[in-house]
Amino acid sequence: MSEKRGMPPQMSDFVASIVVFLVALPLCLGIAIASGAPPAAGLVAGIVGGLIVGSMAGSPLQVSGPAAGLVVLVWELIQSFGLQTLGVVVLCAGLIQAAGGLLGIGRWFRAVSPAVVNGMLAGIGILIFASQFHVMVDDSPRANGILNLLSIPEAVYKGIFPVDGSSHHIAAVVGMITIVSLLMWNRYKPEALKLIPGALVGVVIATGLATFMQLPIRYVQLPEKLWEAIEFTPLSAFSVLSNPAVLVAVVGMAFVASAESLLCAVAVDRLHTGPRTNFDRELLAQGVGNTVCGFLGALPLTGVIVRSSANLQAGATTRLSAILHGVWLLLLVATLPFVLERIPISALAAILVHTGYKLVNLDNARQVKRYGWLPFGIYLATIIVIVAKDLLTGIMVGLVLSIAKLVFKVTRLWVRVEPGEGNRVDVYIEGAATFLKLPTFAHALERIPAGSVVHLHVQRLMYIDHSCMDLLRSWEKQQAEAGTKLIVEWSELNRRYHAPMSLTRVA
Q: Any idea what the CATH number is for the domain that residue 432 is in?
A: 3.30.750.24
Domain membership of residue 276 (yes or no) is yes
Q: Which helix (H) or strand (E) holds 65?
A: strand 64-65
How far is 35 from 468, CA to CA, in rounded Å? 55
pLDDT at 24 over 90: no
Q: Quick one: pLDDT at residue 492?
A: 57
* Listed residues 388, 405, 422: the one ending a domain: 405
Q: Quick one: pLDDT at residue 380?
A: 94
Of residues 496, 443, 451, the one with CA closest to residue 468: 443
% of the chain residues with pLDDT over 90: 35
* Listed residues 405, 422, 457: the one ending a domain: 405
Please tell me the total count of domains within the chain: 2
The CA distances from residue 491 to 351, 356, 456, in Å, are 63, 56, 11
Q: Lowest mean pLDDT: which of 207-221, 225-239, 247-261, 293-307?
A: 225-239
Same domain, 389 and 489: no
Same domain, 395 and 441: no
How far is 17 from 27, CA to CA, in rounded Å? 15
Q: Quick one: pLDDT at residue 77?
A: 92
Mean pLDDT of the chain: 86
How far is 235 from 239, CA to CA, in rounded Å? 8
How far is 129 from 116, CA to CA, in rounded Å? 20
Burial category of 140 from C-beta neighbours within 10 Å (exposed 0-12, middle 13-18, buried 19 and up): exposed
pLDDT digit string, tens, across residues 38-61: 989 999 999 999 999 999 999 989
Burial category of 46 from C-beta neighbours within 10 Å (exposed 0-12, middle 13-18, buried 19 and up): buried
What average pLDDT does range 264-280 have in this prediction?
A: 83
The residues with which 306 forms a beta bridge, in sequence order, are none
pLDDT at 378 over 90: yes
Q: Which residue range forms the structural domain that includes residue 55? A: 2-405
The CA distances from residue 161 to 135, 139, 172, 352, in Å, are 16, 14, 10, 23
pLDDT band at 99 (very low <50, low <70, confident <90, very high): very high
pLDDT digit string, tens, across residues 317-369: 889 999 999 999 999 888 888 888 898 999 988 988 888 888 888 888 898 88
Q: Which helix (H) or strand (E) holds 290?
A: helix 279-296
| Strands 302-303 and 413-419, bridge-based pairing | unpaired
Same domain, 343 and 486: no
Same domain, 399 and 418: no
Same domain, 385 and 429: no
Q: Which helix (H) or strand (E) holds 189?
A: none
Same domain, 398 and 434: no
How far is 86 from 145, CA to CA, in rounded Å? 20
Q: Nearest 5 degrees, angle CA 428-CA 429-CA 431?
A: 145
Same domain, 350 and 453: no
Q: Nearest 5 degrees, angle CA 350-CA 355-CA 359?
A: 150
What average pLDDT does range 90-106 have in this prediction?
A: 94
CB-CB contact of 94 with 291 (8 Å): yes
| Strands 64-65 and 302-303, bridge-based pairing | antiparallel
Q: Quick one: pLDDT at residue 42?
A: 93
How far is 491 from 507, CA to CA, in rounded Å? 15
pTM of the model: 0.74
How far is 457 from 145, CA to CA, in rounded Å? 54
What average pLDDT does range 231-254 have in this prediction?
A: 92
Domain membership of residue 155 (yes or no) is yes
Q: Quick one: pLDDT at residue 214?
A: 93
How far is 362 from 29, CA to CA, in rounded Å? 27
Same domain, 164 and 81: yes
Domain membership of residue 13 (yes or no) is yes
CB-CB contact of 291 with 49 (8 Å): no
Residue 415 three-state SS? strand
Same domain, 393 and 486: no
The CA distances from residue 425 to 366, 421, 422, 486, 501, in Å, are 44, 8, 9, 10, 24
* Listed residues 343, 377, 405: the one ending a domain: 405
**The most confident of 168-177, 332-341, 447-456, by mean pLDDT:** 168-177
How far is 312 from 63, CA to CA, in rounded Å? 10
Q: Quick one: pLDDT at residue 9?
A: 63
**Distance of alpha carbon 17 from its chain centroid, rounded?**
24
Domain membership of residue 129 (yes or no) is yes
pLDDT at 7 over 60: no
Q: Quick one: pLDDT at residue 507?
A: 32
Burial category of 168 from C-beta neighbours within 10 Å (exposed 0-12, middle 13-18, buried 19 and up): buried
Same domain, 364 and 427: no
CB-CB contact of 71 with 129 (8 Å): no
The end-to-end CA distance of the chain, in Å, is 56
Q: Quick one: pLDDT at residue 325?
A: 94
Of residues 152, 100, 108, the one with CA closest to residue 126: 152
